Structure 1
């Protein structure tokens, strides 16, 4: 069961394999480029390899950023729908007073505590951590990126 203590997610293949390996490849290629340049060798070949390693390093990071931005848009829509279902009012006027991180934290709140917690988050400018710790009826999200 998901709760505040265990809601962070790591994708092992991304976090512990692909990203570290591409970082090692990038570091090694820059080191080889520096060695070739210092020795007066074929530094253009080293530059070519370094640029390729840089692209390979950026690919998993960029794909993660794209997925997270899409997920954030979905969370915003989800919060608009939930707020409207619970209150019968549009969420836009309150949404503008909250940061995206606050919205993400609020989505874990159960229906009974969501609206009071939104009001409290705005009035007290609660941090995402404070919002999450205030939640009593935690609604887990098992489909996050």
Structure 2
């Protein structure tokens, strides 16, 4: 974990290679392909556009699929953590928490976790609401 304190405002992660290089390049390739097809209609330009769309889809799948696996791992980790930390009555309610709620709760410190879980279940808080309610953040620098 890093020495840098995380918070709701600073926990988002920008992956420079993906967000600042690949995404803009693939999007620009799509725009160029549309422009070429409009200016010179025909099969080669249409195929170029199809491939530009395929590359964009591939790029998004390359980002989304690892994030889905990460969320499954977080779900497992947080269920184990909750089983060890929560008082007995709340332990029985762990299955009631959604994946989104578990993903957000991973940032909460052990000290504030029981009260936050109870509030989450009572008020059916969403991911953003849970993160905004966290006072003592546990940094998570190992995410995809």
Q: Structure 2 length normalisation: TM-score?
A: 0.86
**Deviation for aligned residue 1:104:** 1.4
Contact 1:23–1:57 (Cα < 8 Å) also in 2:
yes
* Structure 1 counterpart of 2:140: 141
* Structure 1 counterpart of 2:32: 28
* Structure 2 counterpart of 1:125: 124
C-alpha spacing 1:58/1:129, structure 2 compared with 1 (3 Å): same
* Structure 2 counterpart of 1:71: 70
Contact 2:26–2:55 (Cα < 8 Å) also in 1:
yes
Instruction: Provide the rounded CA distance (Å) in 2 between the counterparts of 1:142 and 1:110.
Output: 15
Q: Which runs of 5+ in 1 are unaligned?
A: 38-42
Aligned 1:1-145 pairs, distance under 5 A? 1-37=5-41, 43-87=42-86, 94-145=93-144
Report the count of equivalent residues: 140
Instruction: Provide the rounded CA distance (Å) in 1 between the counterparts of 2:27 and 2:86.
Output: 48
**Deviation for aligned residue 1:127:** 2.8
**Deviation for aligned residue 1:88:** 7.4
Contact 2:87–2:114 (Cα < 8 Å) also in 1:
no
Higher relative contact order (CA 8 A, sep 6+): 2
Instruction: Provide the rounded CA distance (Å) in 1 between the counterparts of 2:83 and 2:38.
Output: 59
User: Over the residues paired in the alignment, what is the CA RMSD in angstroms?
Assistant: 2.2
Structure with the greater alpha carbon radius of gyration: 1
Indicate the structure with greater helix content. 1
**Deviation for aligned residue 1:92:** 8.3
